[in-house]
Amino acid sequence: MAQGDAAAVLSSSSSILCNPDLLAPIVRVLKGSGYVAENERNLRAVCTDIRDAYDQGIERLRLEYGPKTAEELLSFCSRLAERGCRPKSISIRLSRLPAEDVDSKDELAAQVLVALAGSSGVLPTTALHLSNRYESEQARFGPALGRAIVATMPNLKGLDLSDLDNWDYEVEGGLQALPTLFGGGEDGEGTLPVLSSLTTLSLPMLDSLPPFLTACKQLQELSLDIDDETEMEAMGSMFQQLGELPSLRSLHVYLNDSLSQAADLPMEFLTCLTNLTELDFSSLWDQQEVHASDLAGLTGLANLNFNVAPVSVEALCGLSALTSVTMGTLFTPRDGGSDEDAGGVSGNPSRRWALPPGLQDMSVSELPEHRLLTALQPGPAFRELLITEQGGVPALGVGKEDVDGEGRLLPSAEASMIEAARFLGRWLKDESLHVPFGSRNPSRLGGCVAGPGQPPSHSRWLAAVAEANPRLSHLQLEGIALSAEDVETIAARFTSLKELHLLWPTTLPPAALPLLARMPQLQRLALSVFGLCHGTAHPGEAAEGQGDQLSASEERLGEALGALARLYSEGGYGGSLCVQHHERCEGAEGRLRGLLVAAGVELGEGPSDWAVKRTILMDFGEALYVHRA
């Protein structure tokens, strides 16, 4: 913009930027941004109206990266007060305050609140966040700031101290001394209207509850950061004490380091928290199982987060008020007579599990096993099953209990897989699915025999997966022995599939491979050379050799490489191909190149030419990639 044009815009600010129709959306964008960044400062300077409207509209004020001197900071805060800035929430990074030592920073923080309060002497602030996290400079919450909070924030309801690192080292007496900073006793008495008037409180890392917490009779939401050296008995005592807070409705617990991976947490003491409507263990790992007895009595719980810890389906179904849950997975209870009621691990479940009627969404990092999945009965409010970020691609696993003595899928397991596929198609919006056979050895899962004289087949449950989720774009099969009929089912039914991964030890007949070229949207195919070499082996048989010594004859290897070439020549496949070999096979790359050229595939370096690339996978053999150059 030319200098004259810029001047013209600035001179016409009263008619353009101060137009109420334009000013309102500008203020909405700036409102709540918290602190004045450089670009926002420039915009505020365009005209007085925008500056005043901006300052008056601030609801969250963050004093984190501000003026370089104490005088500039206090002047800035005073001007904000003069222009009508009345924030409902204030965040102060104590370690960033421009003062030399911890006592000076404490005094300066107090002066900041007084300056922001202006001539009235009080602020409408209801939430205060104090921090010094990840800063090399030392700072602390001291008595000067405590007195200023009492004087300027009579309406304070929320206090967040969770980011005050090393509290025990910076405040004499540790967290127990917090009431004295406000001018009261250590038991919390005499601190009105601060601690005992709070409805929301977040505390720094601790290994026991401070005595003043019992005075917080109006506390509705509490966040705890529990030290990893805390004894289990002490943690159980914490839960018991929290059960005595009459107004507590929401509890957030962060378990540090090794504590988050413990398997013997005192979960049984959660039964003391009968008033809770929200319980959040955001760092809980999968070693800790949660049973029905752990949550007995928490009938008012609406929101539950156990991160990736597995939860008993009996425990989940007992939470009648639940609306949202996050967990690792669901498991069938194994104590008492519940196993029989739940159907055990064989046959169709004799018991259905009615999920809480108000449950709207269920987030898991790992899908429940397919028999349990089919036994779930969502209520009228249920909307979605979600896979958390930790879970990745949802996996519908098949275990050894689903296989007969000849390595083939049992009819009951096939029926359960079909019902599970329908359940996922209705409630899981994910476009990816992984079906692994739960065995780490080279044996494969054979297809189900529907009746006497019928060939083994995976086609029925594969067709059910495709029908239940027509949006499916990414499918992984691991350890599945596919027949030609199964491959044809995949090619015909999965019309939206863009990626197909046939992970070892998945096998398929080499002659059936070109059928996959019929898939209209397939862009990437990944498989194992062994999967083709042993595609005609019996499902229960291991590949030639054992463990890391898997091998294949030259004849089978040649047949497998030839099938890969025919995928392009006969099938007309136009996508990329990743072929993994579990041992380094000298000459395989050259042989594949020759077969592709003989089949009419043009190899070159041009943008429309095909290329073959070989990659060494360290101890896992090698991979050959066929793709457009």
pLDDT score recorded for residue 362: 98
Judge whether residue 53 has pLDDT over 60: yes
Residue 496 lies inside a defined structural domain of this protein: yes
pLDDT score recorded for residue 24: 60
**Pairing relationship of beta strands 622-628 and 610-616 according to DSSP bridges:** antiparallel
Displacement of CA 265 from its chain's centroid (Å): 22
Q: Residue 388 class from Cβ within 10 Å (0-12 exposed, 13-18 middle, 19+ buried)?
A: middle
Q: Give me the residues paired with residue 304 across strands.
A: 279, 325
Token digits for 197?
Answer: 């008037």
Greater pLDDT, 308 or 132 = 308
Rounded Cα–Cα distance for residues 261 and 552 (Å): 43
Q: Please state the domain count of the chain.
A: 1
Which pLDDT band holds residue 7 (cuts at 50, 70, 90)? very low
Instruction: Output the pTM of the full model.
Output: 0.85
pLDDT score recorded for residue 336: 36
Range of the structural domain that residue 547 is part of: 435-629
Token digits for 302?
Answer: 């609406």
3-state secondary structure 483-545: CHHHHHHHHHHCCCCCEEEEECCCECCHHHHHHHHHCCCCCEEEEEHHHHHCCCCCCCCCCEC
Rounded to 5 degrees, what angle do the CA atoms 430, 426, 523 make?
A: 35
Which pLDDT band holds residue 553 (cuts at 50, 70, 90)? confident
**Residue 368 DSSP code:** P
Judge whether residue 48 has pLDDT over 70: no
Evaluate whether 113 touches 123 at the Cβ level (below 8 Å).
yes
Tens digit of pLDDT for each residue in 259-300? 999 999 999 999 999 999 999 999 999 999 999 999 999 999
pLDDT, mean of residues 10-18: 38
Residue 136 lies inside a defined structural domain of this protein: no
pLDDT, mean of residues 414-441: 91
Looking at mean pLDDT, say which of 11-25, 109-123, 569-583 comes out highest.
Answer: 109-123
**Torsion, Cα of 18, 22, 25, 29 (10° steps):** -60
Rounded Cα–Cα distance for residues 576 and 531 (Å): 18
Greater pLDDT, 258 or 492 = 492
pLDDT score recorded for residue 67: 81
The three-class DSSP label of residue 614 is strand
pLDDT score recorded for residue 537: 56
Residue 373 lies inside a defined structural domain of this protein: no
Q: Give me the residues paired with residue 613 across strands.
A: 625
Residue 241 lies inside a defined structural domain of this protein: no
Rounded Cα–Cα distance for residues 609 and 627 (Å): 8
CATH code assigned at 440: 3.80.10
pLDDT, mean of residues 623-628: 89
pLDDT score recorded for residue 86: 93
Tens digit of pLDDT for each residue in 291-301? 999 999 999 99
Residue 628 lies inside a defined structural domain of this protein: yes
Tens digit of pLDDT for each residue in 332-362? 987 534 433 333 343 345 689 999 999 999 9
**Residue 456 DSSP code:** P
Residue 259 lies inside a defined structural domain of this protein: no
Rounded Cα–Cα distance for residues 442 and 551 (Å): 11
Which pLDDT band holds residue 237 (cuts at 50, 70, 90)? very high
Number of C-alpha atoms within 13 angstroms, CB side, residue 378? 19
pLDDT score recorded for residue 182: 85
Q: Residue 603 class from Cβ within 10 Å (0-12 exposed, 13-18 middle, 19+ buried)?
A: middle
CA distances from 4 to 1, 145, 438 (A): 8, 50, 73
Which pLDDT band holds residue 56 (cuts at 50, 70, 90)? confident
pLDDT score recorded for residue 133: 67
